[in-house]
Structure 1
């Protein structure tokens, strides 16, 4: 791999900053609202011990970010790049969550655009795992041009296997809609 899956990325409003151990409390403050996880495959991630495991997986991925709002200085949530596959020239984006105060404000499309614009310099295809019951995220990804291509069981870090849909955005399609 001749690129970083954990660069600093930013636009005029937001920064994606590589996640560090010292970010746990600020991120848990956002994640401790049970509404954040209502549609996610693991609905218990608002519990401190369960979130500790999620955070550990994020750190071990070496592709996780905290999402930071420049104007307020607030941590809004987290996302990550993971499972780079050199032979298929593809990568996943996922494990994304935002605090409820961010919902419906157009933040996620801006963050995904930052990530996609960056990663499509290096790969041709980006995949996303989205929980079967996570209608909010499915709709959001379809608005970005994602196509559902299959259903599979996904073993999350230290958690039971869950059914997810796999969505795909190809480089040639992304640059047509950006």
Structure 2
């Protein structure tokens, strides 16, 4: 599976994240309100975001999200934890968007592009969401994510945070467009 494809939609272009994207992406991420309900609520701070950005480049699978109309960088997302065995799965996450693109089509289009790409190679796509991050949980439900019975703890902003796992299977995705 190519974890850094170029994916083009009507409103968005997703392309591999590169080191040269630092200034534009931090320009988006430096808004504290993006992270207010996120488990990594301190990610707007430059040293914290630098660690996040460097990790994205080191692990691969990170995508820059570009608004086609303006050409502006508006966020990023990642394909990580690809497991090809037994039908396969990949996790989509580490996603954030500029507040100017909240509540509209951007998140749905980005996820449709990424899920459609991933499900050409794996049977299911996983999303791990902070249990208290109600905004992201609602967004997952809007695009058809099914809450699984899997809970895990991840270190975020200096402490353990409970996360829940959602999935979208190839069959679910093929059944119809995501809401």
TM category (shorter chain) comes to: over 0.9
The aligned counterpart of 1:18 is 16
The aligned counterpart of 1:112 is 111
CA distance in structure 2 between the aligned counterparts of 1:47 and 1:24, rounded to whole angstroms: 13
The aligned counterpart of 2:100 is 101
CA distance in structure 1 between the aligned counterparts of 2:105 and 2:119, rounded to whole angstroms: 21
CA distance 1:17–1:159, change in 2 (3 Å): farther
- Structure-to-structure mapping, 1:155-170, within 5 angstroms: 155=155, 160-170=159-169
In structure 1, stretches of 5+ residues that fail to align are none
Conserved 8 A contact 2:11-2:106: no
- Structure-to-structure mapping, 1:114-129, within 5 angstroms: 114-129=113-128
SS in 2 for 1:177: coil
SS in 1 for 2:165: strand
Q: Which runs of 4+ in 1 moved over 2 A?
A: 158-162
Would you say how many aligned residue pairs link Structure 1 and Structure 2? 175
SS in 2 for 1:53: helix
Q: Deviations over 1:2-56 (max 9, x none)?
A: x211111111221001000110110000000101001111100000000001101
SS in 2 for 1:73: coil
Structure 1 residue 159: deviation in Å?
6.0
TM normalised by structure 2 equals 0.93
- Structure-to-structure mapping, 1:48-127, within 5 angstroms: 48-88=46-86, 89-127=88-126
CA distance in structure 2 between the aligned counterparts of 1:155 and 1:59, rounded to whole angstroms: 20
SS in 1 for 2:175: helix
Provide the alpha-carbon RMSD of the alignment. 1.4
CA distance in structure 2 between the aligned counterparts of 1:171 and 1:161, rounded to whole angstroms: 32
Structure 1 residue 160: deviation in Å?
4.5
TM normalised by structure 1 equals 0.94
Q: Deviations over 1:67-115 (max 9, x none)?
A: 0011101111000100001224000000000111111112100100001
Q: Deviations over 1:125-175 (max 9, x none)?
A: 11001111111110111111111112111246x965421111111110111
